[in-house]
Amino acid sequence: MLLEPWYDFILTVPTEQIGRGITDIRAMGGEFEAPESVGSLSTLRGLVPAAEVKDYAETLAAYTQGLGRLQLTLHGYAPCHNAEAVIAETGYDPEADVENTPDSVFCAHGAGFNVKWNQVRDYMHLESGLREEQAPQLLTRNLHIEDKELEAIMEREFGAIRRPQYGVKAENRPATEEITIRPPKNKYLIVDGYNIIFAWEELAEQAKTDLDAARRQLCDIMSSYAGFTKCRTVVVFDGYKQKGNPGQKTQFHNIQVVYTKEGATADAYIEALVYETGGSYALRVATSDALVQLSSFHSGALRVSARELKLEVEAAQKQMRNHFRK
């Protein structure tokens, strides 16, 4: 049996992002128990292969805006989560290794003869050190979850989700009070198109010679990201300098693309959109424009810088590649 080191992990994220955390741990081959929620935070506990964690702490910090926490403790060695792939990659054939043969030599009637490694038990007649060992027990409970249906699926899998509320004991109230988790809001991302294009080096370089191609590439990237993360996404481009421009809203695959009308800046459009939708969604605005960030914050939206969005997109692309390889 091929073994590898595993970690005990504790992953804490904002409750609205627990689905992302679950997806990430599953993609790493990890195992976990039912999420625990207290207040605005949810926690996953379980085991994960050490080889898969890598730089996940940086990814976590990016998509939770620094609110996520990952604690790791060495659990020990357990069966390799992708043993077949590891063995195939090494190309090692133990039976072809004449210097370290897996076979044994037994004696009978004054002569020796070879016994294959998997036939040793049939020939031995003395008590040996061979024992049937119990493999380390891994957590086997797993979740198949969609963010927009998080509470319903958690209740179906684990029963009613109720957690104790901790605080000062009120008079005539029990010391432990049961609370029910509220369903998370659907995710909504507004992208300041030109700001992101000129903040990302490869798109900024392309925009110097073909701005339309840079716009299409950004929309392609955000379309893939939105499909993988199940996040409703709108990309907004300035059109205010074009005379007679009536503005335009189009559907690009699974995302919406907006060109503002003459005299209406992307900043103003984003501010109005945040105001209209902020109460209904877990809303974020991706821009490095300080004024847009400030107005978004005052309207209750979370701010995501161009660099943070880049890290999230790259993390999603990596997970997609891993998913397709599996």
Domain range for residue 212? 187-325
Determine how many CB atoms are found less than 10 A away from the CB of residue 20.
25
Q: Is residue 135 included in any domain, yes or no?
A: no
User: Measured between alpha carbons, how far is residue 275 from residues 272, 279, 283, 286, 300 in Å?
Assistant: 5, 8, 10, 15, 8
Query: Quick one: 297 and 153 in the same domain?
Result: no
Q: State pTM to two decimals.
A: 0.44
Q: Is residue 306 included in any domain, yes or no?
A: yes
Query: Quick one: 257 and 300 in the same domain?
Result: yes
Residue type, 206: Q
Maximum Cα interatomic distance, the chain, rounded to a whole number of Å:
103
Q: Is residue 243 included in any domain, yes or no?
A: yes
Tell me what pLDDT residue 221 has: 93
Q: Report the mean per-residue pLDDT for the chain.
A: 77
Tell me what pLDDT residue 318 has: 87
pLDDT level of residue 85 (50, 70, 90 thresholds): confident
CA 93 centroid distance within chain = 36
Residues 275-282 have a mean pLDDT of 70
* 272 contacts 289 by C-beta, under 8 angstroms: no
> How many domains in the chain?
2
Which pLDDT tens digit goes with each residue over 199-235? 999 999 998 999 999 999 999 999 989 888 888 999 9
The answer to whether residue 70 scores a pLDDT higher than 60 is yes
Tell me what pLDDT residue 145 has: 41
Considering only 8-17, 147-156, 222-231, which range has the smallest mean pLDDT? Answer: 147-156
The conformation of residue 100, written as its DSSP 8-state character, comes to T
Residue burial 257-285, b: 16+ Cβ < 10 Å; e: rest: bbbbeeebebbebbbebbeebbeebbbbb
Tell me what pLDDT residue 196 has: 92
Query: Quick one: 245 and 147 in the same domain?
Result: no
Residues 225-248 have a mean pLDDT of 83
Which pLDDT tens digit goes with each residue over 98-128? 677 777 777 776 677 777 867 777 777 665 5
Q: Is residue 100 included in any domain, yes or no?
A: no
Q: Is residue 310 included in any domain, yes or no?
A: yes
For residue 228, count CB atoms less than 10 angstroms from its CB and return exposed for 0-12, middle for 13-18, buried for 19 or more: middle
**Sheet strands side by side (includes 302-304):** 248-252, 255-259, 232-237, 187-192, 282-286, 302-304
The CATH number assigned to the domain holding 198 equals 3.40.50
Residue type, 204: A
Query: Quick one: 247 and 288 in the same domain?
Result: yes
